[in-house]
């Protein structure tokens, strides 16, 4: 299912940078409950942080710092200080910093409280060092802001497929591959070009869980994102900002393997699709215009690139921060109940005891960061011209971005999830509750939350 998205151009100030953030081999790595290993044994591809700083051309509002980080996410107790350390080290306000996780499941579970696990004592020092490295990169990038043309357009890619699969034989739903499920193949790409004609950064915004590599993989890996960036950077030797879309129910057609060549193949598929879309963009500052008839064997309608007329909407900008109060699911388990279940599984000899215990540990983390009353879901909307970035925490079902883009076809809407982590975890479409899906089990929020969130964001865009 393709949802069109507008091609847009705008003037701005921008700069980009990147840094290596690969952890040392032997650090705690286990991400999957079914994994039999705990520590990494090698490196498939290095982990990276790619930074783009953007500001309106008049510098009338604060710059926004996007950090595309090759990790799954950070738990809330680490996310708070990690983001503050970056902001302080870079000399910017914390509200300007958005850590946008690529969501790779091959990088390892980075939780500083897991010091009792093999290699777990290495996690917090690594996170501290990574925050300092990223802060230095952000500071350097901010110092290089320059006038640029920003451009976005849409392509399509069939890497992602619906993963809410019904297993009829066992009478359950699994995170698998649902051939006929609704999938959004829309791919948004972007490019920033300075006034000397140099591309300083590219962007890929696509919705697909980076779950090619699973429990059999013991290597540190950015999953398919590594090969995607490599393909693009072979042509554009500059930072490539990967922004994960609304992929709560979307994953690669071929995944859950230990073979890194599959991750690379998935990444190349997305990379070539992104390059095709980038190549369709007009030269920066130009628009393709009808120049008139030319009499030949036929009368030809001749078009040519001419200087783009800068309209007021090409330079208008705004940034807005707001929260949407969402209700919790009824009957959320208590910390005490989950702790008792964890202790039961830790003492069990069942084949799946290790995986069940891991589920309990993650539930304890989720429950430990729950605000009382209602959940204040944070949303940020930045607009430059007719390009809009919607930044959200959590893992939203894909319907959100499809519906939002259908409502505003004249805007190029970049939906970025898992921005600054995920306290709410999954946010399902209302009709997906009650089916026994893993996403509902992992979610904190009540049915109808995704729909309420969509209406709140739509109201802001309409106003």
Q: What is the pLDDT of residues 364-382, one digit of tens each?
A: 777 777 777 899 999 999 9
Give the mean pLDDT of 346-355.
Answer: 82
Q: What is the pLDDT of residue 18?
A: 98
Q: Which of 457, 438, 280, 431 is nearest to 359 (CA)?
A: 438
Q: What is the pLDDT of residue 2?
A: 46
Q: Break the chain down into helix, strand, coil percent, rounded to 5.
A: 30, 30, 40
Q: What is the pLDDT of residue 5?
A: 65
Give pLDDT tens digits for 256-266. 999 999 999 99
> Is the distance from CB of 154 to CB of 277 less than 8 angstroms?
yes
* pLDDT for 15 beyond 60: yes
Give the mean pLDDT of 135-164.
Answer: 96
* pLDDT for 228 beyond 50: yes
Give pLDDT tens digits for 25-72. 999 999 998 899 999 999 999 999 999 999 998 888 889 999 999 999
Angle at 29 between CA 23 and CA 33, to 5 degrees: 160
Distances (CA, A) of 324 to 308, 378, 392, 393, 455: 38, 7, 11, 12, 10
* pLDDT for 213 beyond 90: yes
Kindly state the greatest CA–CA separation across the chain: 85
Higher pLDDT, 332 or 11: 11
Burial class from Cβ neighbours inside 10 Å (0-12, 13-18, 19+) for residue 290 reads exposed
- Model pTM above 0.85: yes
* pLDDT for 313 beyond 90: no
* 223-242 burial code (b ≥16 CB/10 A, e <16): bbbbbbbebbeeebebbbbb
Mean pLDDT over all residues of the chain? 93
Q: What is the pLDDT of residue 292?
A: 96
Residue 34: CB atoms within 10 A of its CB come to 13
Q: Which of 111, 57, 68, 103 is nearest to 315 (CA)?
A: 57
Residue with tokens 């604060």: 62
Residue with tokens 């004592």: 121
Give the mean pLDDT of 339-359.
Answer: 81
Give the mean pLDDT of 326-332.
Answer: 87
> Is the distance from CB of 107 to CB of 70 less than 8 angstroms?
yes
Give the mean pLDDT of 402-427.
Answer: 94
What spatial distance separates the first Cα and last Cα of the chain, rounded to whole Å? 29
> Is the distance from CB of 431 to CB of 407 less than 8 angstroms?
no
* pLDDT for 400 beyond 90: yes
Q: Which of 349, 363, 165, 125 is nearest to 256 (CA)?
A: 165
| Ramachandran angles phi, psi of 81, nearest 5° | -70, -30
**pLDDT level of residue 360 (50, 70, 90 thresholds):** confident
> Is the distance from CB of 72 to CB of 222 less than 8 angstroms?
no
Q: What is the pLDDT of residue 148?
A: 96
Higher pLDDT, 313 or 86: 86
Distance CA 408, CA 57 (A): 24
Give pLDDT tens digits for 63-110. 999 999 999 999 999 999 999 999 999 999 999 999 999 999 999 999
Q: What is the pLDDT of residue 3?
A: 53
Give pLDDT tens digits for 262-294. 999 999 999 999 999 999 999 999 999 999 999
Angle between the N-to-C axes of helices 260-279 and 224-233, in degrees from 0 to 180, rounded to the nearest 10: 40
Residue 58 zone, left/alpha/beta (φ > 0; ψ -120 to 50; rest):
alpha
Q: What is the pLDDT of residue 442?
A: 85
Q: What is the pLDDT of residue 177?
A: 87
């Amino acid at each position: 299912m393709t949802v069109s998205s507008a091609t847009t151009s705008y003037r701005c100030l921008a700069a980009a940078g990147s840094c290596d953030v690969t952890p040392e081999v032997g650090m705690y790595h286990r991400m999957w409950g079914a994994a039999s290993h705990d520590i990494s044994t090698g490196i498939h591809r290095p982990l990276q942080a790619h930074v783009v700083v953007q500001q309106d051309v008049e510098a009338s509002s604060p710059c926004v710092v996007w950090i595309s980080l090759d990790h799954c996410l950070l738990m809330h107790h680490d996310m708070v200080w990690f983001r503050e350390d970056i902001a302080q080290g870079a000399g910017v306000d914390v509200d300007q910093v958005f850590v946008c996780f690529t969501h790779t499941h091959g990088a390892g579970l980075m939780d500083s409280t897991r010091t009792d696990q093999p290699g777990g004592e290495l996690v917090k020092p690594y996170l501290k060092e990574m925050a300092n490295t990223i802060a230095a990169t952000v500071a350097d990038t901010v110092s290089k802001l320059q006038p640029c043309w920003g451009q976005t357009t849409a392509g399509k890619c069939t890497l992602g497929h619906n993963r809410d699969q019904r297993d009829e034989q066992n009478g359950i739903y699994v995170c698998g591959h649902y051939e006929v499920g609704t999938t959004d193949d829309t791919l948004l790409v972007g490019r920033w070009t300075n006034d000397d004609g140099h591309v300083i950064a590219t962007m890929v915004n696509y919705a697909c869980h980076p779950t090619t590599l699973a429990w059999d993989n013991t290597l540190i890996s950015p999953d398919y994102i590594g090969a995607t960036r490599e393909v693009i950077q072979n042509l554009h030797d500059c930072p490539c900002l990967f922004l994960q879309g609304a992929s709560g129910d979307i994953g690669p057609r071929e995944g859950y393997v230990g073979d890194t060549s599959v991750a690379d193949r998935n990444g190349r598929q997305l990379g070539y699709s992104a390059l095709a879309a980038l190549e369709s963009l007009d030269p920066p500052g130009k628009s393709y215009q009808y120049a008139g008839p030319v009499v030949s064997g036929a009368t030809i309608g001749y078009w040519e690139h001419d200087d783009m007329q800068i309209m007021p909407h090409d330079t208008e900008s705004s940034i807005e921060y707001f929260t949407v109060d969402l209700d919790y699911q009824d009957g959320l388990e208590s910390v005490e109940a989950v702790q008792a279940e964890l202790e039961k599984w830790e003492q069990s000899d069942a084949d799946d005891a290790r995986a069940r215990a891991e589920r309990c540990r993650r539930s304890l983390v989720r429950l430990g960061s729950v605000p009382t009353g209602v959940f204040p879901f944070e949303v940020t909307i930045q607009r430059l011209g007719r390009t809009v970035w919607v930044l959200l925490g959590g893992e939203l079902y894909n319907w959100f971005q499809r519906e939002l883009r259908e409502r505003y076809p004249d805007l190029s809407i970049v939906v970025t999830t898992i921005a600054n982590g995920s306290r709410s975890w999954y946010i399902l479409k209302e009709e997906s509750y009650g089916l026994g899906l893993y996403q509902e089990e992992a979610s904190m929020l009540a049915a109808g939350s995704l729909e309420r969130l969509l209406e709140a964001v739509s109201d802001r865009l309409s106003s």
